[in-house]
Every structure is written in structure tokens, then in C-alpha cells.
Amino acid sequence: MKPVTQMKPVTQMERVSAHGVLILAVMLCLIPVYWMVRSSLTTNSGIFDSHFQPWLVNFHWHNFVAAWSSQPFALFFFNSIASNMILVACQLVTSALAAYSLVFVHFRGKQVLFFFVLLAMMIPLQATFIPIYSMLSDVHLINTYGALILPFVGSAFGIFLLRQGFSAIPQEMVRAARIDGASEYRILWSIVLPHAKPSLVTLFLLNFVYHYNSLFWPLVATNSTNMRVIPVALAYFLSQDAGQGLQWNLMMAADLFSVVPVVLLFLLGQRYFVQGIMSTSLKG
């Protein structure tokens, strides 16, 4: 029998070097964030001042007020957050039902069906926009919340992610619940979903951020100010009243408060997010 080799302990120098590389990488990633914050708190001419100063002396907090009042950003935030919350909630339901059947329900052709799920993940989303737009136009849903939500109710990525997370749950628990007379929906709600919370939170965070940042489809599917979402509003920002003369400081202020919901979500769900990513990568 081949002896098990012990892992070499990590030396202090290796630990310091690893942390040094990570700190350097974080600093490089934070440079654009620093520039956005600095630009949002200075004058428009101060952004392009040849005498660059890394630290500001005068903070122009009124930039945020001017940017917020230049357009109805409260409405835009409502459109983005409400539509994305409903969209991701529908994805959680449909993905959980499909993943449960792929993991815990035995039927012929299950592996083939999962192959088609993986195949659907390889199709560029933009390739489906023309037929989707045509169908929504036929039922008069263009420029409505339905146009923002309905095309994304099902998610191949969501099915894959939850299928990986459900695979970590012992099959014996499900069999025991069936012997006790529990229905499939009761098993899903009371046993599977509580044990797959990291995967659910990971799916929620990833899909919410993806659709919150989506520009192309909302730009195509909506055509009025009342239906604008945050990315579309930012794209139009420089051509509106606040953008006369290319006021980049106001643009950076608008960018800054537009990322607040995403940052708050990740701060609240980062622990489950890491667990969900790890469970997905370890399960085959």
C-alpha cells in the first residue's frame, strides 16, 4: 500500500508573499473605483487638471444632488430593482424545480436532458433577441415590465448551478422522506432548499447583478423614459440636461450611487456566495 504523502507546511515567507500579491491585485482593482469616487467629488475641470493631486481638498458633495435631480433616478431604480427581483425570483422557482427533477427524480433520458441544458448555456443570448422581440411585439408587451421579465424567467445557468448544489444533498434523506409519505414538493421545500441555501443565494446574486447591469435588451425592449432602467439611464445621461458640456463629474456621481445596490447585496450575501461557488466547483 502506497504511503500517504504529507503536505509541506506553508512557511512564513510564502504566506507573506501570497498576501502581498493579493494586496497588490486588490489595489489594482480598486484604481478605477478610486478614480470614480475622486471624479464624483470634484469639479468637471478638476478631473482634467494637469496638476493632478491624489487627495482632494474641497469635496463637492452637491454633485450627487445635481446628478440625482437631473433625471428621475428614483423611478429608474424602481424599474431596475423591481423587475430584477421578480425576474430572479421566477428563475429561482423554475431552476429549483428543474434541478430537483434532474437530481432526485429517476426517469429515462435524464442525462440527455441535462446535456441540452448545458448546450443552451453555450448559445449567445443576443442570438435569441430577434425572435423574442417579435413574439413580445405580437402580444403587445414591448415597453412593459413583461418585456424585461418574461424572456429570462427560465435560466439554463440557474438549472446547472442548482443541480450542482442539489447533488451535494444525500439521496438517503430524500428516500427517507418519501418513505414517510412526504410529497415531492414538500421534500423540495422542507429538505432540499434549506440545505442548498448557498447555491440559491449564489444564483440570486449572480443573476441579479447580470440583469441589473444589462443594457442591450432593455434598450431594445423599452422606448420610453418611464420604463428606463439604470444602465439605459446612464447611457442617456450625457445627452440629457445634466450632460450638457460633458459634465463627467456628474456622470461619475450617477455611476457611484448606481452601484450601491449591488455592493450592498454582495456584502449581505458574501458568505453564502463563497460557499455556493465552492460547492458548485467541487461537485461533478
Same domain, 53 and 82: no
Same domain, 173 and 41: no
Asked, for residue 252, whether it belongs to a domain, the answer is yes
pLDDT in tens, 66-90: 888 888 899 999 999 999 999 999 9
Asked, for residue 226, whether it belongs to a domain, the answer is yes
Same domain, 36 and 90: no
Mean pLDDT, residues 216-239: 88
Q: What's the structural domain count of the chain?
A: 2
Instruction: Return mean pLDDT, the chain.
Output: 85
- Other residues' Cβ atoms within 10 Å of the Cβ of residue 174: 21
pLDDT in tens, 254-279: 888 888 888 888 888 777 666 666 66
Structural domain span for residue 187? 71-282
Q: pLDDT band for 284, please (50, 70, 90 cuts).
A: very low
Q: What is the pLDDT, as a whole number, of residue 273?
A: 66
Q: What sign has the CA pseudo-torsion 120, 124, 130, 134? A: positive
Asked, for residue 9, whether it belongs to a domain, the answer is no
- Please check the confidence at residue 165 and state whether its pLDDT lies above 90: no
pLDDT in tens, 1-55: 455 555 667 678 878 888 899 999 989 988 888 888 888 888 877 777 777 677 7
Asked, for residue 5, whether it belongs to a domain, the answer is no
pTM: 0.82
Asked, for residue 141, whether it belongs to a domain, the answer is yes
Asked, for residue 200, whether it belongs to a domain, the answer is yes
Cβ atoms of 97 and 184 closer than 8 Å: no
Same domain, 138 and 216: yes
Asked, for residue 95, whether it belongs to a domain, the answer is yes
CA dist 111 → 93, 99, 168, 271 (Å): 21, 12, 18, 32
Q: What is the pLDDT, as a whole number, of residue 247?
A: 80
Mean pLDDT, residues 218-246: 80
Cβ atoms of 283 and 198 closer than 8 Å: no
